[in-house]
């Protein structure tokens, strides 16, 4: 099936472009299903080993069903010891919860398409305690690598998330 998603800029590695394109397609499918358009793809070498979309709104509201956490949980058990060799490709910069999960599980790298100005955790790297900072800096962080496609998707995520959050608290 032909992709309906454009290709990242020419300076993005072809493998990164392929995995991030897949993450965007998963995110858009989630949006069509009523969820926030956020997705994560975890790759080992040239193979996708897990992929997930956020399921924070459907089937029922749940704050912990973020794409990165669900993708980590979907990694086949025999591959878990190889997490340091894997890279997580996310449509949106990981939030603090997902940042922590990725760091504590010692994923090898994280590539994100768009920065999250309200909840992205990568900016916290300089402020972490020394032992946590050492773990977090061991992860290869790259992003935003595809803002021309992921920024509009991120804007929809943020608008819908904050609207849903304030509706549920009133």
Count of Cβ atoms closer than 10 Å to residue 138 Cβ: 13
Q: Tokens 């790259």 sit at which residue? A: 142
User: Which residues, listed in sequence order, are joined to residue 29 by a DSSP beta bridge?
Assistant: none
96: tokens are: 């603090």
With vertex at residue 55, the alpha carbon angle to CA 170 and CA 21, rounded to the nearest 5 degrees, is: 125
**What is the spatial distance between Cα 111 and Cα 93, in angstroms, rounded to a whole number?**
8
Catalytic residue among 25, 31, 47, 68: 68
Strand order across the beta sheet in which 140-142 lies: 47-53, 39-44, 86-92, 109-114, 140-142
68 is catalytic: yes
Helix (H, G, I), strand (E, B) or coil at 6: coil
Active-site residues, by number, are 68
């Amino acid at each position: 099936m032909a992709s309906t998603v454009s290709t990242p800029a020419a300076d993005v590695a072809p493998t990164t472009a392929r995995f991030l394109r897949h993450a965007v397609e998963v995110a858009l499918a989630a949006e069509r299903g009523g969820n926030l358009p956020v997705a994560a793809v975890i790759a080992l070498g040239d193979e996708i080993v897990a992929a997930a979309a956020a399921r924070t709104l459907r089937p029922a509201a749940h704050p912990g069903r973020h794409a990165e956490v669900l993708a980590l949980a979907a990694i086949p058990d025999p591959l878990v010891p190889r997490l340091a060799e894997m890279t997580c490709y996310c449509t949106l910069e990981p939030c603090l919860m997902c940042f922590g999960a990725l760091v504590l599980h010692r994923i090898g790298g994280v590539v994100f398409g768009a920065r999250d100005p309200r909840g992205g955790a990568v900016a916290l790297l300089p402020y972490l305690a020394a032992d946590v900072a050492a773990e977090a800096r061991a992860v290869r962080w790259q992003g935003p690598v595809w803002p021309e496609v992921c920024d509009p998707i991120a804007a929809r995520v943020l608008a819908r998330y904050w609207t849903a959050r304030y509706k549920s608290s009133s």
